[in-house]
Amino acid sequence: MTMAETLSAGMSAMQARRLLAGLLREDGIESADLDARLLICAALAIDHTSLATQTDRILSAVDAKALSALATRRLRREPVARILGGKEFWGLPFRLSADTLVPRPETETVVEAALAAMHDRRDHPLRIADLGTGSGAILLALLRELPRASGIGTDLSAGALATARANAADLQLSDRAMFAACDYSAALRGPFDLLVSNPPYIESGDIDHLQTDVREHDPRLALDGGVDGLAAYRAIAADARRLLSPGGALVVELGAGQLAAVSDIMANAGLTPAAQARADLAGIPRALTLVVAS
Ligand SMILES: C[S@@+](CC[C@H](N)C(=O)[O-])C[C@H]1O[C@@H](n2cnc3c(N)ncnc32)[C@H](O)[C@@H]1O
């Protein structure tokens, strides 16, 4: 039976949601229930609250065709965020493009750690640089929380920078956010109160073994951390002392198992941990805050 025959006109939104969730689950997609809800909302062009009040709504032929098309893409392992063209991060909507990583929930630990590092200066005119900004997620989340801060996001990808600029405009942060094509911080002049980065940290040889959702849909430039996964940390560490203001902090996201190796790279560059690495919801040390060693 084809997807179009399975999800057909005449069924209710509730029936379609259950059927789709079952199809996704049978295919091994763990987030089947959530994905089904998001895809039905997208096909019917309604939000979650409206879906809850429209469970008896009967799908038209147009609705069923739209839903079938979205379901087919998900069954081919395209991530829901890619299908929808956007993802929520730090409670804010971010649009995506083929050139941007889908922001991950664990990256919110970087935002938390950066805010903790600046907790007594939240109202100051802080200067922030986000190295490898992608969609602009980290920088824009910080600017939302720090009302007098301004910042620059750098990336090698022109497409990512265009998306980040669009996100800044959507979030009405364009007056405090700049974006520039740059190899991490190579072209920046300090001082910065905060350097933040979620750099590419997957070992090159591991990329072909990642889940299809990631391997085929996140840009390789956003994933590939070189032979040992640590190339970006070396580049960022080399520049950090030059750029940090007195009292400033560098916060980097870590890949699983990278805490010791990244700490060593930072120590060799004269940077010392300011706090224990912040763990994500899975208990993995995820955000490391560093300051210039005295
Ligand atoms: C893991 S993604 C993080 C994106 C975003 N900050 C986030 O957390 O969702 C890494 C980003 O670094 C960018 N990148 C890769 N190499 C770079 C380089 N040499 N200089 C600047 N950015 C780079 C990629 O294009 C990508 O946007």
Domain residue ranges in the chain:
3-76, 90-292
What are 132-187's pLDDT values in tens digits? 999 999 999 999 999 999 999 999 999 999 999 999 999 999 999 999 999 999 99
Domains 3-76 and 90-292 share a fold: no
Top CATH class of 90-292 equals: alpha beta
CATH 1.10.8 fits 3-76, yes or no: yes
What's the predicted TM-score (pTM) here?
0.94
Nearest-atom number in ligand 1 for the CA of 107 is 8
Distance 199 CA to ligand 1 centre (A): 5
pLDDT computed for residue 39 by the predictor = 96
At which residue do the structure tokens 């039905």 appear?
A: 40
CA nearest to 270, candidates 289, 290, 245: 290
Beta carbons within 8 Å of 213's beta carbon, 6+ residues apart: 77, 78, 79
Torsion, Cα of 243, 154, 285, 145 (10° steps): 90
The token pair that represents 159 in the structure block: 């497409």
Atom of ligand 1 nearest to the CA of 197: 6
3-state secondary structure of 134: coil
Pocket of ligand 1 (CB under 6 A): 101, 103, 107, 132-135, 137-138, 154-157, 160, 183-184, 198-200, 221-222
Residues 207-254: pLDDT tens digits? 999 988 899 899 999 999 999 999 999 999 999 999 999 999 999 999
- Total count of residues recorded for the chain: 294
Please give the full DSSP string across 7-69, using - where no structure is assigned: S-TTSBHHHHHHHHHHHHHHTT-TTHHHHHHHHHHHHHT--HHHHHH-TTPBPPHHHHHHHHH
When pLDDT is cut at 50, 70 and 90, the band that residue 6 belongs to is confident
